[in-house]
Amino acid sequence: MMQPTAEQIIETQRADWNRVAPGWEKWDRFFNEQMTFLNHRLIADARLRPGMRVLDLGSGTGYPALLAAQTVGPSGSVIGIDLAEQMVAAAERKAKRLGLTNITFHQGDVTTLPFEGNSFDAVTSRFCLMFLPDVSTSVSEIRRVLKPGGWLAAAVWSAPDKNPSISLSVEAIRTVVDLPPPDPTAPGIFRLAKPGDLSGMVEQAGFGDVSDLEFVAEWAYASAEEYYESLLDIAAPVQTLMAKLSDKQRQDVKRLMCEAANRYTHGDRLVFPFVARLVVARKPQ
């Protein structure tokens, strides 16, 4: 099968994430309450302080860009970039609601950053870099736009077996329909999951003080139904696979996902482990 070009990957990503943007707004409070500690972790890893100029890559509906803007304060500023204009519009609405005037969001591809060299004090990114057609070019671009001594703090997903709330959806789909084996080099949720996948590129691009570690946490749902509904509403890659199924196959996948999810019952909730990979590095002085 022909590999898609970089332009085709970008166009597909843009369409996929635009389609799920309403789902991200619908579930915003639910996921933000469960994931807010990760924003704080990225802000700390990027060593943000008042007055800094920060770039957030693949901000989606504003994470961690909004917290970055609150942290750098009125004397600092944040630019968030995302491919999907519907995500950008949602992030802008949130910034307005929060009364933040030091943050702007722009539609664009983070592989080619439209900024002067040495122009940001720090770069953050949460769950975006594994979707890029060319991660190493993007990492070189990040290094270019960072000021000497500036930090990059990025979160990507760790391995599928450590993230069952995501992986069991794909396993359920595989049970009802033949899927090609995953291409480990193709853009996707777990593409940068292994230690060294992203940090190796970061080192290669000339960053120093590189760390690569797993961040272990959990998230909880009131029911298997809530888990299924929310995942289908926000996980663009899963939604794309589901769209190719018949109604009967979709019902089967839902049943299998809910059965598997119920194995994570703790008391009156479903509690899933989740593990992110945090890669943090510094542009040499």
Ligand X SMILES: C[S@@+](CC[C@H](N)C(=O)[O-])C[C@H]1O[C@@H](n2cnc3c(N)ncnc32)[C@H](O)[C@@H]1O
Name the site residues for ligand X (rule: CB under 6 A). Answer: 10, 13, 17, 58-60, 63, 81-84, 87, 109-111, 126-128, 131-132
Structure tokens at 98: 């929060």
CB of 24 to ligand X, least distance (A): 7
Contacts of 45 (CB under 8 A, 6+ apart): 151, 153, 278, 280
| CB 103, min distance to ligand X, A | 14
Alpha-carbon gap, residue 280 to 203, rounded angstroms: 11
In whole angstroms, give the CA distance from residue 284 to residue 150. Answer: 8
Closest distance of CB 59 from ligand X, Å: 5
Q: What stretch of H or E contains 125?
A: strand 120-126
Shortest approach of ligand X to residue 100 CB, angstroms? 16
Please give the Cα distance from 237 to 13 (Å, whole number). Answer: 9
Of 20 and 72, CB closest to ligand X = 20
CB of 238 to ligand X, least distance (A): 11
Rank residues 13 and 158 by Cβ distance to ligand X and give the closer one: 13
Residue among 133 and 256 whose Cβ is closer to ligand X: 133
- Say which residues have a Cβ less than 8 Å from residue 14's Cβ, sequence separation at least 6: 83, 84
User: Do the beta carbons of residue 58 and residue 125 sit within 8 Å?
Assistant: yes
Question: Of 58 and 150, which CB lies nearer to ligand X in the complex structure?
Answer: 58
> What would the two tokens of residue 30 be?
């639910």
Shorter beta-carbon distance to ligand X: residue 155 or 256? 155
